[in-house]
Amino acid sequence: MESPGFISRVIKKLLVGPAVYYVWVLFLLCVIGVGIGAYTRQLQHGLIVTGMTSYVSWGFYIGNFTFLVGVAAAAVLLIIPAYLYDFGPIKEIVIVGEALAVSALIMCMLFVTADLGRPDRIWHLLPGLGILNLPSSLLGWDIVVLNGYLFLNLFIPGYLLYYAYNMQEPNWRFIGVFILLSIPWAVSIHTVTAFIYNGLVARPFWNASILAPRFLASAFCSGPALIILVYQLVRKYTRFHVTDEALFKITEFIAVAMALNLFLLGAEFYKELYSNTHHLSPFKYLYLGLHGKGNLVPWIWTASVLNVVAFIIFLIPATRKNFATLNLGCVLIILGIWIEKGIGLILPGFIPSPLGEVWEYVPTTIEVLVAAGIWGTGLLVFTVLMKVIIPIETGDLTKRSAAAA
């Protein structure tokens, strides 16, 4: 398909770079190596090396998975203005968002795999070979939508980059269908992920219909915040051009999403506090501690403060358009949502247990190392994608430059 020499040129591109690039990749490879080591240990001994128990049967892995689905879904916030409204400044840079989505999706799948007790039986999920329990299992649906989204986010940029490389105008009518499809699909990956938890009557903390909207709202905070930081790095280290206008547009989205997130959280708080049923117990555990146990209390209050401060930063135009405070806000929001949507969402679902017991969960070193390895893998994938995509986008890597070389 590609013109001969494309692969070798890409490989050459990947092998050449500034010193900081080598250091970065080497660092990631080390982290990944440690992660693989930790995961091997987990495979050897079973999930007993994690902090998970019969009481808290999902933990750090699923928390990170949930957060990353949000990051992946956030690409839609770029796709809508870029392709639907033809907003120039974002259209130029949307491809980076899609690459971020791809990396996030790969991390999602790795996190779910790491959480599986029997990864050797993962083929049981493949329709045809195994049995994918559709339509009743939301985990089944999640596998479908995540893979579908991964395909879309590989196919759309791949198609556009192919034409960019060959210096031809892409068939917008053809690819437009996929672009349009990717918008509801992005919403669906996050909705379905929310539904995984949402549908469980056993877990009142999750069994609230506000969960899916809250998921989307918080996803549209953390994902774009990450994208803003990434764009600044990209434009610092490459010739890729990102306008301030595009970044500020994204911050506006974040401000709205954060407002919605806080509003929905408030609505949930009101309902639980005023009705004051036993469904309040997980909230008590999360925010105050229950039966003398409250590992999550400092975390969730930190997250709450981070989110509110970040919201104020994004709300005020002066701080929103100042890169120092903007970046601070982005970091705060990413950390805040990571806590709130990760462990802050997963663990209280299990505490207290459906039979009323309160047993806490703390991730083990192995879990943290495996998670670090997965994050490293995601970042490496993203780095590699950037290394390929950006020269094509900037016109450094095209058919013509190949001919010239």
Partner 1 sequence: MTDHNDRFSEKITASSHGVESASENRDGRSEKDAAILPDRRSFLAGVTALFGMLAVSSCSWEEFAQKHFREMTKEELDTTIDRLKTQYKAKYGKDFVVDTEGPIDGTLYGYALDIQRCIGCRRCVYACVEENNQSRDPQIQYIRVLRHKDARMDLEEATIYYDPEEVPEKGYYYMPVQCQHCANAPCTKVCPVQATWTEPDGIVVVDYNWCIGCRYCMAACPYMGRWFNFAEPVIPAEEVNPKTHYLGNRPRMRNVVEKCTFCIQRVRKGLYPACVEVCPVGARKFGNLLDPDSEIRRIMATKRVFRLKEELNTQPKFYYFFAT
Partner 2 sequence: MKAIIGIRRVALPVLALGLVWMCLPCVPSVAQTTYQPTYPEITRELSGGLEPKVVPGQEFPVPFKPPPKTITPCRACHGPEKDFPVNYQRKEALLVHTNLQLHHGGVRVWCLDCHHPSVRDYLLPLSDGKPIPFAESYRLCGKCHGTKFRDWRNGIHGKRVGSWDGKKKYYLCVHCHNPHSPKFKPLTPMPPPARPWTPKEKQAKH
Binding region for partner 2 (CB under 8 A) = 41, 45-46, 48-51, 53-55, 359, 362-366
Indicate whether 355 belongs to the interface with partner 1 (CB under 8 A): yes
Backbone angles phi, psi at 267, to 5 degrees: -60, -40
Residues 125, 183, 208, 402: which binds partner 1 (CB under 8 A)?
125
Site residues for partner 1, 160-199, by CB under 8 A, read 196-197, 199
Nearer to partner 1, 112 or 326 (CB): 112
Nearer to partner 2, 16 or 48 (CB): 48
Residues 1, 7, 19, 46: which binds partner 1 (CB under 8 A)?
46
Site residues for partner 1, 65-124, by CB under 8 A, read 112, 115-122, 124
Chosen from partner 1, partner 2, none, partner binding at 182 (C-beta under 5 to 8 Å by type): none
CB atoms within 10 A of CB 74: 30
Nearer to partner 1, 50 or 261 (CB): 50
Annotate 11-31 with b (16+ C-beta within 10 A) or e (fewer). eebeeeeeeeeeebbeebeeb
Cis upstream peptide for 135 (omega within 30°) = yes
Residue 291 is given by DSSP the state T
Judged by CB under 8 A, which stretch of 53-61, 74-82, 315-323, 380-388 contacts partner 1?
53-61
Q: How far is the CB of 62 from partner 1 (least distance, A)?
A: 9
Nearer to partner 2, 3 or 365 (CB): 365
Retrieve residue 243's tokens. Answer: 């306008």
Chosen from partner 1, partner 2, none, partner binding at 366 (C-beta under 5 to 8 Å by type): partner 2
| Separation between Cα atoms, residue 24 and residue 380, nearest integer Å | 9
- DSSP string computed for 83-145: IIS--HHHHTTHHHHHHHHHHHHHHHHHHHHHH-S-GGGGGGGSBTTB---TTT-HHHHHHHH
Chosen from partner 1, partner 2, none, partner binding at 115 (C-beta under 5 to 8 Å by type): partner 1
Q: How far is the CB of 50 from partner 1 (least distance, A)?
A: 8
Judged by CB under 8 A, which stretch of 47-55, 63-71, 372-380, 386-394 contacts partner 1?
47-55
Indicate whether 33 belongs to the interface with partner 1 (CB under 8 A): no
Chosen from partner 1, partner 2, none, partner binding at 136 (C-beta under 5 to 8 Å by type): partner 1
Indicate whether 287 belongs to the interface with partner 1 (CB under 8 A): no
| Separation between Cα atoms, residue 341 and residue 333, nearest integer Å | 11
Retrieve residue 250's tokens. Answer: 């994204």
Residue 238 is given by DSSP the state S
| Separation between Cα atoms, residue 86 and residue 83, nearest integer Å | 5
Q: Is there a contact between 191 and 146 (Cβ–Cβ < 8 Å)?
A: no
Q: Is there a contact between 210 and 279 (Cβ–Cβ < 8 Å)?
A: no
Residues 3, 40, 277, 365: which binds partner 1 (CB under 8 A)?
40
Annotate 345-384 with b (16+ C-beta within 10 A) or e (fewer). bbbbbbbbbeeeebebbebbebbebbbebbbbbbbbbbbb
Retrieve residue 287's tokens. Answer: 């925010």
- Please give the residue ranges that form the binding site for partner 1 (CB under 8 A): 40, 43-48, 50, 52-55, 57-58, 112, 115-122, 124-125, 130-133, 136-140, 143, 196-197, 199-203, 278, 281, 349-350, 352-357
